[in-house]
Amino acid sequence: MSIVKESFGQTRDGQNVEAFFFTNTNGVMAKIINYGATIVSVEAPDRAGRMTDVVLGFDDMAGYQGADNPYFGACCGRFANRIAGGKFTLDGVEYSLAVNNEPNALHGGWLGFDKKVWEAEIVGDSVRMSLTSPDGEEGYPGTLRIEIIYTLTDDNELRIDYTAETEQKTVLNLTNHSYFNLAGGGSHGGHLMQINADRYTVVDGDSIPTGELRDVAGTEMDFRTPRAIGAEIERTAEGYDHNYCICQSAAGELTFTARVVEPESGRTLECWTTEPGVQLYTGNFLDNIKGKGGVVYKRREGFCLETQHFPDSPNHAEFPSTALAPGEVYAQTCIYKFAVA
């Protein structure tokens, strides 16, 4: 394993951004920057050993700070996904959040964790990134300290370990928002998807959960056995943008979440998490975004597997809690494993 640090330029306000290049003994490579704790690229082999970048992103800071960046590869927080109306009540106190996705709050607000420069250092075979979010930032209570450890193993696992502590009771829901395409480009409709979930959270017209957890059996939402992402996507409103309830034997247990196979190249991606949910998003609103190497990303050319708690959990007592109190430690793990079928 080797990790090399290089400059990735500066933010508009003059902050230095660093890139960390991971290479394991199999030649798999990952590039992560400390702006947004963002996964910029992952190069993985096909059946013939040819390496291809399977993550969507940008070449420079101009792209990552551009208005059309759809959270490519970033850490989303304080609260990944949506909170209805940008409001929630905690211990009898109502909090109003930044409404950046009318009429809701999304992925932490206008200046969420995806737009922060994190402190970063190489620690052994990993990179540790840390951030302090002050009390009241984007409307969230409590000073929060977050740490993310990125590790690329010789089993071709890109492992993300999150921990956080707060000085005041708050809510917290972190995820990584990488967009994958195992062919390296083009439509992902032929990718074969399997998700370890027999229920999903039904949402209203604003993508807010109604509270119903519906069985996937016999519906376009059923990925319990592998099938093409595009097989029944037209039966959805815009495409998949839904939270699946992972079949866990115990809360917080590292659990197989999803497996994706790209039949022509043979590349596979497995996802594992300790979280209770995973958001399948199929890039429904990618709109001719100019990405790495001048490639233009179009609708449904990247998919996300965002491991998380359920959307709008602070407003649903029946969902697994996202509350974090002083003295408690938030901890979760997500693993993206690359292989060949």
Q: Is the pLDDT of residue 216 over 90?
A: yes
pLDDT tens column, 65-74: 999 999 999 9
Domain ranges of the chain: 2-340
Place of tokens 């376009």: 220
Please indicate whether residue 53 or residue 237 has the higher confidence score (pLDDT): 53
Q: What are phi and psi of 69, to 5 degrees?
A: -75, 115
pLDDT tens column, 79-133: 999 999 999 999 999 999 999 999 999 999 999 999 999 999 999 999 999 999 9
Find the Cα–Cα–Cα–Cα dihedral 181, 239, 312, 328, rounded to 10°. -20
Q: CATH code for 2-340?
A: 2.70.98.10
Q: For 190-209, what is the mean pLDDT?
A: 97
**Residue 113, SS3?**
helix
List C-alpha distances in Å: 114 to 45, 76, 175, 257, 338. 28, 6, 10, 24, 24
Q: Is the peptide bond before 103 cis (omega within 30 degrees of 0)?
A: yes
- Average pLDDT over the chain, rounded to whole? 97
β-strand pairing of 82-83 with 93-96: unpaired
How confident is the model at residue 237, as a pLDDT? 85
Q: For 295-308, what is the mean pLDDT?
A: 98
Q: Is the pLDDT of residue 337 over 90?
A: yes
List C-alpha distances in Å: 36 to 5, 131, 178. 16, 10, 12
Q: For 204-231, what is the mean pLDDT?
A: 97
Q: Look up residue 260 and give its DSSP letter.
A: E
Q: Is the pLDDT of residue 207 over 90?
A: yes
Give catalytic residues, as residue numbers.
177, 306
Q: What are phi and psi of 114, to 5 degrees?
A: -70, -15
Identity of the residue numbered 295:
V
Length of the chain measured in residues:
341
Quick one: which of 31, 5, 36 has its CA closest to 18?
Answer: 5
How confident is the model at residue 33, as a pLDDT? 99
The burial of 299, by beta-carbon neighbours within 10 Å (0-12 exposed, 13-18 middle, 19 or more buried), is given as: middle
Q: Is the pLDDT of residue 1 over 90?
A: no
How confident is the model at residue 197, as a pLDDT? 98
Q: For 187-216, what is the mean pLDDT?
A: 97
pTM of the model: 0.98
What gap in Å lies between CA 312 and CA 319, rounded to an integer? 9
